[in-house]
Structure 1
Amino acid sequence: MTLFPRLLLLAALATSTLSAQTKVKKPDAVDQMAAKLTPTRTVVYKRAGDKELAMHIFEPAGHKATDSRACFITIHGGGWTGGNPQRMFPFADHYTQQGLVGISVQYRLNNAKAGVSVYDCVKDARSAVRYVRAHAKEMGIDPEKIIVSGGSAGGHLAAATALFDKVNEDGEDLSISTTPNALVLLFPVIDTSKEGYGQAKIGDTWQELSPVHHVRSGLPPTITFHGTGDTVTPFIGAKNFHEAMLKAGNKSELVIHEGGVHGYLMSDQKLFDETLARSDAFLSSLNLLK
């Protein structure tokens, strides 16, 4: 092969490789819904160093500060290192349509170079709930009707609001509880051991942030959705968590999707709708949803 054709071939291969590397993941069902949604307003709930953290608030029609509505807080996943609040807009919006205040929370992302750990992610999730409780009156929210939900790493952070009482941001009023009145966990990181997910990111103290290792009596009623085919956050962790919750005398439901891979309900509109319907029934049984 002469030099010129060889250069053309190398250029074509380089272009093909770059195209493959920069190919954007096709939006799934939840992404498509999220792209059409805009929060009513955005509020900064915390400043961490020079970073402002926001909560994206969806308010039902006619909502007033004098109301006392239940609140649905949702937290995005992404292995604590990625993702964004927009991903969970459809969940917040769903409950806004039913008269609740919906909130999708931003948190710092785990980044060792920037000095942000998974502990900081946990602190932010707990700060968000504490902020809502502290400002419930001006936000038109009932402080005793707060539901926290999340998917994957966001599910871990949702559980963290109820479980990890010793992990708090310095200077916050610890008399304001971060424990929600119910949890809705979607394929969560629930076991951070080597059999689960997250040990490498958390480090030697992984057990301090492992929900399944911190189950005790008095935890909020919890519904967990998990697929048996999940190899990212293995199903056995959700099963063990559910059984430990029941053994401790807590209310727990485990909704099993046979063969479901990680995030299964996010890519299928029918499964998404079924998940919300099952969540609705669970929350209605707790008088958190009319």
Structure 2
Amino acid sequence: MMFGHHLGNLDSYDDWLLDHDVVLISVDYRLAPEHPDPYPIEDCYAGLLWVAAHADELGVDPDRIVIAGQSAGAGLAAGTALLARDRQGPTLLAQILVSPMLDDRDSTVSTMQIDGVGLADRQMTRFGWNAYLGPRRATADVSVYAAPARATDLSGLPPTYLDCGSAEVFRDETVAYASGLWAAAVDAELHVWPGAFHGFTSMMPGAAVSRRATSALADWTSRLLGAPDPVAPQG
């Protein structure tokens, strides 16, 4: 997970472990503004290619690779899935997009509502997009891999889990992306958690809404992987 393409590091989410027999691999992609688009997305795609090529030695089933991310990391995960489709790269079993940062154009209702409110607001995300895209932000010269909300063809993408908070800046672009996936006949599950802000499951993991969100993702993952249903958290 990285925020705004310019904050975070490889160890930011070492404790984000799934309760399954999986190999969890993080890509230490280069950060903006020193390394703007397309460096981060190409780093992520290179990581995917490496995992697929080294599946045997990693103990990974190459037919069961799931790509996941949160915030800017989720935007990069979505862009990597588009790259894998368009370059005929490794086939993904699924993608998990948690509060994804998808749209550089700063034009949704939620970006205008969450302005000067909380940690991840309109000004902070605009700063992140400027660092990532420079003067190209909000122009026609931005690829769908950098800003997946710009993609007009979402067909051929893997089953997708998306969630966000109702009180976060990325709410509307997440909902719109889910709608685009459904329109393209892609299996997608969307959750918009009432009253939740950006990063709520990480910042307040014990909150009731955070436990519900974590449980919903665990349930979806269990169904995806054919594992027994997880035990719902108590309290």
TM-score range, shorter chain: 0.7 to 0.9
Question: What is the CA–CA distance in structure 2 between the aligned matches of 1:254 and 1:288, rounded to whole Å?
Answer: 20
1:99 to 21, 24, 29: 21
Higher relative contact order (CA closer than 8 Å, sequence separation 6+): 2
2:9 to 81, 84, 97: 84
1:181 to 82, 93, 96: 93
Evaluate the alpha carbon distance shift between residue 129 and residue 151 of structure 1 in structure 2; reply closer, same or farther with a 3 A threshold.
same
Could you tell me how far 1:148 is from its partner in structure 2? 1.1
Tell me if structure 2 keeps the 8 A contact 1:187–1:224.
yes
Match of 1:164, SS state, is: helix
Aligned-residue Cα RMSD (Å) equals 2.2
Is 1:226 paired with 2:226? no
* CA radius of gyration, larger in: 1
Match of 2:15, SS state, is: helix
Is 1:268 paired with 2:204? yes
Greater than 6 Å deviation, 4+ residue runs: none
| Residue aligning to 2:219 | 281
Evaluate the alpha carbon distance shift between residue 145 and residue 80 of structure 1 in structure 2; reply closer, same or farther with a 3 A threshold.
same
What is the number of residues matched between the two proteins?
200
Question: What is the CA–CA distance in structure 1 between the aligned matches of 2:44 and 2:204, rounded to whole Å?
Answer: 27
| Residue aligning to 2:80 | 161
1:108 to 26, 30, 45: 30
Tell me if structure 1 keeps the 8 A contact 2:63–2:91.
no
Question: What is the CA–CA distance in structure 2 between the aligned matches of 1:161 and 1:268, rounded to whole Å?
Answer: 29
Question: What is the CA–CA distance in structure 2 between the aligned matches of 1:122 and 1:191, rounded to whole Å?
Answer: 15
Question: What is the CA–CA distance in structure 2 between the aligned matches of 1:154 and 1:178, rounded to whole Å?
Answer: 19
Could you tell me how far 1:239 is from its partner in structure 2? 0.8
TM-score normalised by length of structure 2: 0.77
- CA deviations 1:117-158 (Å, max 9, x no partner) are 121000011111111000001111100111111111000111
Match of 2:95, SS state, is: strand
Tell me if structure 1 keeps the 8 A contact 2:85–2:157.
no
Could you tell me how far 1:182 is from its partner in structure 2? 0.7
Match of 1:144, SS state, is: coil
Tell me if structure 2 keeps the 8 A contact 1:280–1:289.
no
Tell me if structure 2 keeps the 8 A contact 1:183–1:222.
yes
Between the two proteins, what is the percent identity of the paired residues? 26
More strand by share: 1
5+ residue gaps, structure 2, are: 109-124, 229-235
Evaluate the alpha carbon distance shift between residue 220 and residue 121 of structure 1 in structure 2; reply closer, same or farther with a 3 A threshold.
same
Give the AA of the match of 1:265: T
- CA deviations 1:156-197 (Å, max 9, x no partner) are 111111113599xxxxxx66x245211111111022222265
Give the AA of the match of 1:154: G
Tell me if structure 1 keeps the 8 A contact 2:27–2:47.
yes
Question: What is the CA–CA distance in structure 1 between the aligned matches of 2:186 and 2:224, rounded to whole Å?
Answer: 13
Match of 2:11, SS state, is: helix
5+ residue gaps, structure 1, are: 1-75, 168-173
2:147 to 198, 210, 216: 210
Question: What is the CA–CA distance in structure 2 between the aligned matches of 1:134 and 1:257, rounded to whole Å?
Answer: 37
Could you tell me how far 1:285 is from its partner in structure 2? 2.4
Tell me if structure 2 keeps the 8 A contact 1:228–1:260.
yes
1:258 to 194, 205, 210: 194
